């Protein structure tokens, strides 16, 4: 599979336009390799991860965390230097799907909500809201204009054909229609879809705190630190993988009975201890599972293209 096609497939789940402005999602290290036969997937681009990827003769390494948020010259013989040496020496692509993956609520970032069976899942911190565009094409042009977009066609008669497209498809449709003849565009206000960080949803039925904590242990297999107080029962659950403690106030304001995240700092804990129960499950816990689940999906999706996908388990430094 060509690297550009693999990157396009990755970005269909983790679009770069969703990434935070401070982030460095995307290609970290480019390679001259023109074919990808083996792709490794991991949480962190550590030296150990790179060595295992090299041993597997990987052509491409997909990680969640970027190699660096502020790239620098390899002026010291440290781990950064060694990662560069291993990657460049083996002609391996290194790619980060960081906040570009975190901000897609339909992607693997929300595996926990699906594992708990949460309903009516919504984004906690909305960073982008999108609505579709209605295109009206004269009927005599629709055969050419709608080729490949038939599923988006909502109306056809003797005069016009109407097609409703989201932004990722609207640009290519617009370019095609522009070369064929007149096309009317109408920006719709609904339906809408939201992107951003964190998630909140409701359990199928209320659970006692003891039953919910037992269920959580089955799913997470981790021993979280707790901040605040537990309610007698749990109905609404919110969470944000990685370092999401700043979203706790928003979670409780929207009715969360418990909020799960990682890396809760001392002063953050002080600020939320009277709002409800915050569980610090660690940065590693939710995101390691997220990348494993994504790797399983990628393995299934890329099998027909001849790409072998291998998940490289990480190590929790606090375990």
Which CATH number goes with the domain that contains 167? 3.30.70
The answer to whether residues 140 and 65 belong to one domain is no
In a domain, residue 32? The reply is: yes
What pLDDT is stored for residue 299 in this prediction? Answer: 98
The answer to whether residues 114 and 252 belong to one domain is yes
What pLDDT is stored for residue 142 in this prediction? Answer: 64
Pick the closest to residue 142 from 154, 133, 131 (CA basis): 154
Please give the chain's pLDDT, 319 residues, in tens. 999 999 999 999 999 999 999 999 999 999 999 999 999 999 999 999 999 999 999 999 999 999 999 888 999 999 999 999 999 999 999 999 999 999 999 999 999 999 999 999 999 999 999 999 999 888 776 666 677 888 888 888 888 888 899 998 898 888 877 776 778 899 999 999 999 999 999 999 999 999 999 999 999 877 899 999 999 999 999 999 999 999 999 999 999 999 999 999 999 999 999 999 999 999 999 999 999 999 999 999 999 999 999 999 999 998 8
What pLDDT is stored for residue 36 in this prediction? Answer: 98
CA-CA distance, 154 to 164, in Å (whole number)? 7
The answer to whether residues 25 and 165 belong to one domain is no
The CATH code of the domain that includes 67 is 3.40.1390.30
In a domain, residue 302? The reply is: yes
User: Total domain count for the chain?
Assistant: 3
The answer to whether residues 265 and 298 belong to one domain is no
Q: Give every CB contact of residue 264 below 8 A, 6+ residues apart in sequence.
A: 225, 227, 245, 278, 280
In a domain, residue 247? The reply is: yes
The answer to whether residues 142 and 240 belong to one domain is no
In a domain, residue 41? The reply is: yes
In a domain, residue 319? The reply is: no
In a domain, residue 318? The reply is: no
The answer to whether residues 211 and 243 belong to one domain is yes
The answer to whether residues 183 and 220 belong to one domain is no
The answer to whether residues 296 and 253 belong to one domain is no
The answer to whether residues 91 and 174 belong to one domain is no
Give the pair of three-digit tokens for residue 66.
């970027």
The answer to whether residues 72 and 20 belong to one domain is yes
CA-based max dimension of the chain: 71
What is the pTM assigned to this prediction?
0.92
The answer to whether residues 219 and 234 belong to one domain is yes
In a domain, residue 84? The reply is: yes
C-alpha 121: how far from its chain's center? 15
In a domain, residue 316? The reply is: no
The answer to whether residues 91 and 232 belong to one domain is no
| Domain that includes residue 71, residue range | 3-100+287-311
């Amino acid at each position: 599979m060509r690297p550009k096609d693999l990157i396009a497939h990755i970005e269909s789940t983790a679009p770069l336009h969703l990434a935070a402005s401070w982030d460095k999602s995307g290609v970290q290290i480019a390679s001259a390799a023109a074919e990808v036969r083996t792709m490794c997937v991991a949480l962190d681009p550590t030296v150990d991860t790179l060595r295992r990827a090299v041993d597997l003769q990987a052509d491409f390494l997909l990680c969640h965390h970027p190699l660096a948020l502020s790239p620098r010259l390899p002026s010291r013989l440290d781990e950064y230097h060694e990662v560069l040496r291993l990657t460049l020496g083996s002609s391996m692509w290194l790619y980060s799907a960081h906040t570009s993956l975190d901000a897609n609520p339909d992607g693997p970032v929300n595996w926990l909500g699906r594992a708990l069976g949460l309903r009516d899942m919504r984004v906690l911190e909305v960073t982008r809201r999108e609505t579709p565009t209605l295109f009206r094409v004269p009927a005599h042009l629709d055969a050419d204009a709608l080729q490949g977009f038939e599923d988006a066609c909502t109306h056809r008669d003797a005069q016009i054909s109407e097609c409703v497209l989201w932004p990722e498809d609207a640009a290519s449709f617009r370019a095609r229609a522009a070369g064929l003849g007149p096309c009317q565009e109408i920006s719709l206000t609904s339906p809408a879809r939201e992107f951003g960080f964190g998630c909140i949803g409701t359990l199928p039925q209320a659970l006692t705190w003891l039953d919910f904590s037992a269920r959580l242990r089955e799913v997470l297999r981790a021993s979280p630190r707790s901040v605040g107080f537990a309610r007698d029962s749990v109905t609404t659950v919110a969470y944000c993988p990685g370092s999401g403690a700043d979203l706790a106030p928003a979670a409780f304001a929207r009715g969360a009975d418990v909020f799960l995240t990682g890396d809760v700092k001392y002063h953050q804990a002080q600020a939320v201890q009277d709002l409800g129960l915050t569980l610090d499950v660690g940065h590693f816990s939710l995101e390691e599972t997220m990348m494993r689940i994504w790797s399983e999906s990628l393995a299934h999706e890329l099998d027909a293209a001849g790409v072998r996908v291998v998940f490289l388990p990480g190590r929790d430094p606090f375990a």
